[in-house]
Structure 1
């Protein structure tokens, strides 16, 4: 009888061990089982990706990141958001500091040489933000000999300097909040980036009536989710999650919740092209 009990106990231990091994294998693939996942977002883009003074995270990209992580098997409490400034996004992915990045991350060939993307999941256009009483800037060429602010590593800054207004006095800083302060204090004449980001700032209560979008479509910015180069398995899973997000209505809900207050006219959800 004692031998039988010991045998039964051993069998239970073996069964538990096998079960744990199986779960571990599933965790690796799906992210289930309470493991943490680190996701890169912007911390200073109202309406897109913002860390509030009380430590919460809000914005369209944050909602997308939570949705995708959920489809990968992670509970919201298991998501750790890490700041991903424009100039550091590729490095964060290459070093494995984040699993993926959802941070108004425009897909282009230069970036695709270093990282992979899933998506796109959103189409924005480059525009200009100026002071509400400024009628001197109505087109890109008006930026020549004006002080223009953007963020280091931004494709918008390069686009203006190289193609649209080569004589613009371009000032590149670490975050858009610095540009907004400069615009408010008249240290700069305009801020350029995607219209979604600009609309998010203009809609903030403290800036009500102070700024306006010029209303230009200076470029097409297809936002993608950045991944470590060569991670085709994760790319496939995230693309599937993005398709579900559009199909079940979550995408529309996220757009209205984050951009609706600024009367932002969004483009329809774009077709997924990366990885196909």
Structure 2
């Protein structure tokens, strides 16, 4: 096979092309709010939880699963990103607003309840799931109501609306312990260090359904609050409208219902898909 000679002009053009490619390559930030064909092959960084079975879970082999993961993946694809271009970033409850303001992620789908306080600094697309605050207790527990928590050791995570709701409205005398993750709370419940774990029923159902905990815990069956899960974006971002369109499509084409079945199974009696743009008011 003959090799073609490279002229000086051709070599110069090649150098310019390579330089342009290097300058325009993937910088790993997913762009600002670029979507669709504008993504240019860049990755999009999405905030999720890593330790919530049924919602957002990273397994030891590095794979991700959960309802929020399914929703985030669907949305990112609708924004023009291939599944391999989605980079999931762990965003604990207390760090969600900071992650958006710093630009660490382009959007967050992490059991992120919409409320007035958060809307002061974050824009929300959705809601895409209506959950309710509940209690997870030992199977033989005598805790049957929110007021039963007075004098009991209650666990939740730092920055969660559930912990604030209990202390301010339900059981002001509860001995609240706020830890970094729900996994730490569930370990405390299993060992008897705490009497109850409070957060959304969707999250609690995921923990209760885990193989190592089957039969140990039960949901108290209380609807202590309405939790409208939204997808958080940086304030003023044009992603909000685009994500809302993606969520509406996910519901209409049946993908939302399938994601519910795939991730919650029989452990969770979910509410119907909420109407995008309509937030169910807090309980009185």
Q: State the TM-score, normalized to the length of structure 1.
A: 0.88
Does structure 1 residue 165 correspond to structure 2 residue 171?
Answer: yes
Determine if contact 1:117/1:274 at 8 Å carries over to the other structure. no
Does structure 1 residue 270 correspond to structure 2 residue 277?
Answer: no
Return the offset for 1:80: 0.5
Return the offset for 1:35: 1.1
Partner of 1:92 in structure 2? 99
- Give the SS at the match of 1:244: helix
Q: Which structure has more helix as a fraction of its residues? A: 1
Determine if contact 1:45/1:176 at 8 Å carries over to the other structure. yes
Does structure 1 residue 139 correspond to structure 2 residue 145?
Answer: yes
- 1:53-64 to 2 correspondences below 5 Å: 53-64=60-71
Structure 2's unaligned 5+ residue stretches are 1-8, 25-30, 280-284
Spell out, residue by residue over 1:48-107, the C-alpha distance to the aligned partner (whole angstroms, 9 max, x if none): 000001110000000000000000000010000000100000000000000000000000
Determine if contact 1:107/1:222 at 8 Å carries over to the other structure. yes
- 1:77-116 to 2 correspondences below 5 Å: 77-116=84-123
Aligned mates of 1:29, 1:244 — CA distance in 2:
17
Partner of 2:5 in structure 1? none
Partner of 2:225 in structure 1? 219
Return the offset for 1:274: 6.8
Runs of 4+ in 1 over 2 A off after TM superposition: 27-33
Partner of 1:240 in structure 2? 245
The size of the alignment, in residue pairs, is: 253
Aligned mates of 2:34, 2:194 — CA distance in 1:
48
Aligned mates of 1:105, 1:187 — CA distance in 2:
27
Aligned mates of 2:34, 2:174 — CA distance in 1:
49
Partner of 1:175 in structure 2? 181
Determine if contact 2:157/2:181 at 8 Å carries over to the other structure. yes
Determine if contact 2:35/2:81 at 8 Å carries over to the other structure. no
Deviates more, 1:245-254 or 1:266-275: 266-275
Return the offset for 1:28: 3.1
Partner of 2:136 in structure 1? 129
Q: State the TM-score, normalized to the length of structure 2.
A: 0.86
Return the offset for 1:133: 1.3
Aligned mates of 2:249, 2:235 — CA distance in 1:
24
